[in-house]
C-alpha cells in the first residue's frame, strides 16, 4: 500500500525583514583576518526558515548544533599546533582565526533558544555529542586532532561557498540568511589556517586524509541524525524523515554540481585550500551584508 508523504513545504510566517547589524569589526593583534561581532535578530524565526522547506532548514539546524563545541575543538587543535612551530606570520594570522571561531560559537549557541521556542527537544543529545567531542579532544593524538580540524575547515569552506550562491539560502528568513552567509564568509577567510599549521608541524599526507575522512564521517552522521530527529518531532514517520532527508541531499547535489569536485580536491597530495578561489563570492556577499 502506497503511503502518501506529507509535504515538507509550509507557508512561511509573515515577518518583517530583520536588519542585521555589524556591531564591531576589529583586528586581533596584527592579523589581517577581521573579527566581527554581529547583531542578529532571531525573533520570529519559523521552523521552515529555509524558503519554506523543513528538511533544508533542519540541515542547517543539524550543523548549527555541531558548531559551538566543534569550534572549540578546532581552536584547541590549532593552538596546540602553534605551540610546536616558530612561524610569527602564521601565528599572527591565527589570532583572527581564534576570534572568528569564538564569535561563531557564541552566535550559534544563541540560536539554540530559537529551536527550543519552536518546540524542539535536543539539548540532552547535544550534551552527549559535546561530551564525546571533548573526550576525543583529550585522548586523540594532537596531530590527528589538527588533521581533523584542517579537514573540517575545508568542508565548511566548501559548504560556505555553496551557501553564498544557494537560491534557497538567499530566500531564507533574513536573520538566518545573514547568519549563514556571515559564517560562510568567515570560514572562507580563515580556511587555510588549520591546514597551514598542520603542514608546518610536519603533518603527513596519510594522517591528513585520515583526519578528513573522520571529519566527514562525524559531521555527516551527527548532522543527519539531528535532521531526522527534528523531522520526526515535526510529525513525520522515521521512513518519511529518511525520504525527505534523501530528497534534500539529492537536491543540493543537483543544484551545486561542483560540490563533489571541491570536496574531493582535498585528496590531492599537492592540494592547498587557497587553490580554490572564492574571492568573488565573498566580495559580493560582504557588500550585501555591509561588512568589511
Written as one string, the DSSP assignment of the chain is -PPPPPPSB-PPP--PPPPPEEEEEEESTT-SSEEEEEE---TT--TTTTTTBHHHHHHHHHHHHHHHHHHHHHHHHHHHHHTT---HHHHHHHHHHHHHHHHHHHHHHHHHHHHHHTT---HHHHHHHHHHHHHHHHHS-HHHHHHHHHHHHHHHHHHHHHHHH-HHHHTS-HHHHHHHHHHHHHHHHTTTHHHHHHHHTT--HHHHHHHHHHHHHHHHHHHHHHHHHHHHHTT--HHHHHHHHHHHHHHHHHH-TTHHHHHHGGGSTT--GGGS--HHHHHHHHHHHT--
Residue 241 forms part of a structural domain: yes
**Per-residue pLDDT band at 5 (split at 50, 70, 90):** very low
More reliable by pLDDT, 236 or 292: 236
**69 near 133, Cβ under 8 Å?**
yes
**Per-residue pLDDT band at 171 (split at 50, 70, 90):** very high
Residue 40 forms part of a structural domain: no
**147 near 207, Cβ under 8 Å?**
yes
Residue 22 forms part of a structural domain: no
Residue 127 forms part of a structural domain: yes
More reliable by pLDDT, 11 or 49: 49
Residue 23 forms part of a structural domain: no
What is the span of the domain harbouring residue 216? 53-289
Residue 32 forms part of a structural domain: no
- Structural domains of the chain, count: 1
Residue 10 forms part of a structural domain: no
Average pLDDT over residues 22-33: 69
Closest to 155 measured CA to CA, from 247, 34, 39, 63: 63
**Per-residue pLDDT band at 159 (split at 50, 70, 90):** very high
Whether residue 62 is predicted with pLDDT greater than 50 in this model: the reply is yes
Residue 167 forms part of a structural domain: yes
Query: Which three three-digit cell numbers place residue 243?
Result: 525520504
Q: Diameter of the chain by CA atoms?
A: 67
Amino acid at each position: 500500500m502506497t503511503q502518501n508523504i506529507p509535504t515538507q513545504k509550509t507557508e512561511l510566517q509573515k515577518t518583517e525583514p530583520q536588519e542585521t547589524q555589524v556591531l564591531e569589526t576589529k583586528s586581533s593583534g596584527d592579523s589581517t583576518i577581521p573579527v566581527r561581532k554581529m547583531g542578529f535578530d532571531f525573533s520570529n524565526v519559523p521552523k521552515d526558515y529555509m524558503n519554506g522547506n523543513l528538511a533544508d532548514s533542519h540541515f542547517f539546524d543539524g550543523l548549527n548544533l555541531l558548531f559551538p563545541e566543534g569550534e572549540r575543538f578546532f581552536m584547541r587543535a590549532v593552538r596546540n599546533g602553534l605551540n610546536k612551530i616558530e612561524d610569527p606570520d602564521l601565528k599572527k594570522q591565527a589570532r583572527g582565526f581564534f576570534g572568528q571561531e569564538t564569535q561563531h560559537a557564541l552566535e550559534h549557541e544563541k540560536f539554540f533558544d530559537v529551536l527550543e521556542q519552536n518546540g524542539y527537544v535536543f539539548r540532552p543529545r547535544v550534551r552527549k555529542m559535546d561530551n564525546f567531542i571533548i573526550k576525543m579532544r583529550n585522548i586523540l593524538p594532537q596531530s590527528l586532532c589538527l588533521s581533523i580540524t584542517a579537514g573540517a575547515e575545508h568542508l565548511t569552506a566548501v559548504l560556505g561557498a555553496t551557501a553564498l550562491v544557494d537560491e534557497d539560502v538567499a530566500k531564507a528568513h533574513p536573520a538566518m540568511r545573514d547568519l549563514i552567509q556571515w559564517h560562510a564568509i568567515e570560514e572562507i577567510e580563515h580556511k587555510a589556517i588549520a591546514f597551514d599549521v598542520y603542514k608546518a608541524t610536519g603533518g603527513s599526507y596519510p594522517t591528513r586524509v585520515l583526519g578528513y575522512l573522520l571529519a566527514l564521517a562525524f559531521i555527516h552522521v551527527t548532522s543527519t541524525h539531528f535532521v531526522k530527529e527534528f523531522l520526526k518531532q515535526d510529525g513525520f514517520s522515521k521512513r518519511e524523515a529518511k525520504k525527505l532527508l534523501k530528497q534534500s541531499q539529492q537536491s543540493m547535489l543537483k543544484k551545486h554540481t561542483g560540490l563533489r569536485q571541491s570536496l574531493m580536491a582535498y585528496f590531492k597530495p599537492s592540494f592547498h585550500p587557497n587553490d580554490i578561489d572564492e574571492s568573488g563570492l565573498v566580495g559580493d556577499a560582504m557588500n550585501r551584508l555591509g561588512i568589511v
